[in-house]
Chain A
């Protein structure tokens, strides 16, 4: 035990210190106490909320999810009760969680997102804002799904001016010219990038000839996307000097370590939480054991230490 305590799992991004590099992916861990019976939130590096929008959204019609090989498709459609409900009814609970709170937001355009960021800037409980510019399941005009670099640039710039909080921009492989988007987000002042959001996919019921999701297409997540997610994190870290929060199919400490070795500052468990609510906590414990066995004493010793030379 005394040996273990020498290992420093903490990770700093901007001015925020996270007690360890494990967090959860937006939309996969509820919005308040859903997983409280199973996990000690205080043991995680951060708690990330489901994406909230300025006004309430009812989400997409059913069916919204469908299981596919080693993963699932979802088209929830950002169902949420809106920013004011979040501040009034969710924040009081979330403020008691003994770790950093990352609030995920989406909006219809740069100025709406900037307004939301300003409102959240005054909430002390919020440690960071994650800009979800990449939900693949939106068909209406009330949520901006940035596909091009210039759109992302405009949004990040405006939001940056409205908040001093740690700003994270969430990207998806659906974006055109991914690396350009990533680069412009950094230039526009984002403090970190998170990736990946889900990848668009679909499934069809051959008996009814109907799509398995009412939205026809949905976002693919889970272990099926992990190698792709890892590749994105790796490539971004090759090109840009920016902290990355990696996610996509992480189910165990070993998966999480892959992302860290590829250069991620933090790693989130997502779909795996549905299967094993303790997944994030198990990752923390597993990483600690791994570090001890390998003789690493801090995250810096291992982060980005991929050996590509043979």
Chain B
């Protein structure tokens, strides 16, 4: 785990609502694994004060790429970074997705929750990458796809791209058609309402899987206990340290409704 001063290589819009920030770090490129995250401090300001957590989206040689959306002041400042600017990156932090060998892997993402799944897809074979977006402006361009882009299934709330509605609907269809759901494995990341629905249908069809949670974070290292998640096995645990990746069956789903 390192607190590094890194230099922006590139920072560009790849769709109306999505940005990709890149920087070089051999140390991080060699150590970070899918699911883990970094805590950025892009400006030496007291407002915003806290760091912002981000997943890794892609690694190309020693270049780390971050996929992000501008939602508030912190990400707005991030979008203003120019090549050559420096910022602080703390990490790698948290846990990783467990690699699967013999299962049929389905990845389910919502919005920028696609980021850690795309990184995972660089290392893990998968059968389908199912991604849901708010609307056309937030859709991840297919030119960004890892592997065979026929495996990429899209849904948008307004039907402007792909299936009309939530991505969990085609997911449930897929479960219905599967003869042996116990052979499926889900990796999922996105807004809590989506994750809750993914967890619900996984439980209904007896499908195993892992989700990566986005909790508000104070420290990112397990020190403040601000990001607690209620698990069946260990009670409350800090999501930044025992997560952000959790097994679906270990989560107390009712509690998740309140957080995020």
Contacts and interface: CB of A to CB of B under 8 A. Distances in A.
A274 B49 CA distance: 9
A38 B50 contact: no
Nearest to A60: B228
A67 B221 contact: no
B49 A271 contact: yes
Interface residues of A, number: 37
Given A30-B222, A74-B218, A76-B224, A38 B1 contact: yes
Given A63-B258, A66-B216, A273-B223, A72 B50 contact: yes
Contacts of A64: 225-228
B49 to A, nearest CB: 6
A62 B224 contact: no
Interface string A209-242: 0000010000000111000000000000000000
Nearest to B41: A275
Nearest to B229: A62
A67 B46 CA distance: 11
Interface residues of B, number: 32
B51 interface: yes
Interface in A70-92: 70-72, 74, 76, 79
A45 interface: no
Contacts of B224: 27-28, 65, 74, 76, 274
Contact of B258 (A29, A37, A214): A214
A274 B236 contact: no
B215 A223 contact: no
A71 B46 CA distance: 8
B228 A67 contact: no
Contact of B49 (A63, A71, A76): A71
B221 to A, nearest CB: 5
B257 to A, nearest CB: 10
A35 B11 CA distance: 30
Contacts of B225: 27, 50, 59, 64, 76, 79
Interface in B136-177: none
Q: Secondary structure at chain A's binding surface: helix, strand, loop or mixed?
A: loop
Contacts of B218: 65, 72, 74, 271, 274
B259 interface: yes
A59 B224 CA distance: 12
A147 B223 CA distance: 27
A61 B228 CA distance: 8
A69 interface: yes
A300 B225 CA distance: 37
A278 interface: yes
Contact of B47 (A50, A69, A273): A69
A63 B259 contact: yes
B216 A38 contact: no
6 contacts: A29-B223, A34-B221, A65-B217, A65-B227, A274-B220, A277-B90
Given A65-B227, A72-B218, A274-B224, 18 more contacts: A27-B224, A28-B219, A30-B222, A35-B221, A35-B223, A37-B2, A50-B225, A58-B236, A59-B236, A62-B255, A62-B258, A64-B227, A66-B216, A76-B224, A275-B49, A275-B50, A277-B90, A278-B3
Among all A-B residue pairs, the 5 with the closest Cβ atoms? A65-B226, A30-B223, A62-B259, A274-B219, A37-B1
